Amino acid sequence: MQSRKALITGITGQDGAYLAKLLIDKGYEVYGVHARRSTDALWRLRYLGIEKEVTLLGGDMTDLPSLLRCMEKSAAGEVYNLAAQSFVGTSWEQPILTANVTGVSVVNMLEAVRTVNPKARFYQASTSEMFGLIQEAMQSETTPFYPRSPYGAAKLYGHWMTVNYRESFGLHASSGILFNHESPLRGIEFVTRKVTDAVARIKLGKQKELRLGNIDAKRDWGFAGDYVEAMWLMLQQDMAEDYVIATGRTTTVRDMCAIAFAHVGLAYQDHVVIDPAFYRPAEVDVLLGSPAKAKAKLGWEAKTDLNTLITGMVDADMVRVSQD
């Protein structure tokens, strides 16, 4: 039986690595778009033991010809567009870069699919940050968007262009509106990983305090390994649609800190320092997603609770920091 072929942009990121492993385990031939960098971008693939099992193709999300070549070389029947400038804080400092890499690049990838293989199924990584200043207490696929950052606005452009290509050209193009999803592979700049790394360093005597901004912000946090399964399920459906992927539970940064510090026998109040430098120009106070449609149509629901997720991240960072 001929193996199915998938192309993943952003394959070296948290979601890309977990998705690549899921697809490899399902028997796919997996290709990844990889912009050559001097830093070690492949550590997540190594962490999951799949570095040698993926084929990396040189490409850049802002360069359409390179994406056309990636589509041709991979002969992919499924395309997962995960690449982005994905850190919200950076988007205020680099709004034009964020617009190009997070927004316009989605059209580049859609054009590559439409040109090379319009029958390929396309997944776009949308985000709960598009809801921003929330218009409903629990956000669903029908909740109006109100992004509060250049990142959220760029993602919203990519989201609507995906809808547009689906309706204009008949592409099987779906967007997953994913709420916050974390793991031991999360970038150190994201708050959950910043917390778990600091907990490990404080416990091991390598750091004294953790400086954070608004710890009363609420987020709907899930495990990235669960969420990539939803991406795959979307592309197995007869009809392309958009889905909110979330746990349906929201927790403050403060309570997340409490879980992380308590796991190693510490009290967060003794170590967390509120620093106004970490406040955002426009804050998103609460995000809470409704996974009802994903459960009804995809049969998907989050499996990993927040306590298991955060304590697992702390354990992974304890190992990492002890080896520094």
User: Active site includes 151?
Assistant: yes
User: Active site includes 146?
Assistant: no
User: Active site includes 129?
Assistant: yes
User: SS3 letters for 140-206?
Assistant: CCCCCCCCCCHHHHHHHHHHHHHHHHHHHHCCEEEEEEECCEECCCCCCCCHHHHHHHHHHHHHCCC
Helix, coil or strand: residue 222: strand
80, 151, 243, 268: which is the annotated catalytic residue? 151
Measure the CA–CA gap between 182 and 193, rounded to whole angstroms: 8
Measure the CA–CA gap between 31 and 83, rounded to whole angstroms: 14
129, 196, 243, 251: which is the annotated catalytic residue? 129
Of residues 99, 92, 123, 139, the one with CA closest to residue 15: 123
9, 98, 102, 127: which is the annotated catalytic residue? 127
First to last CA, the chain: 46
Measure the CA–CA gap between 183 and 272, rounded to whole angstroms: 21
Helix, coil or strand: residue 223: strand
- Residue 62 sits at the vertex; the CA angle it makes with 68 and 237, to the nearest 5 degrees, is 60
Encoded amino acid at 297, one letter: K
Q: Catalytic residue numbers?
A: 127, 129, 151
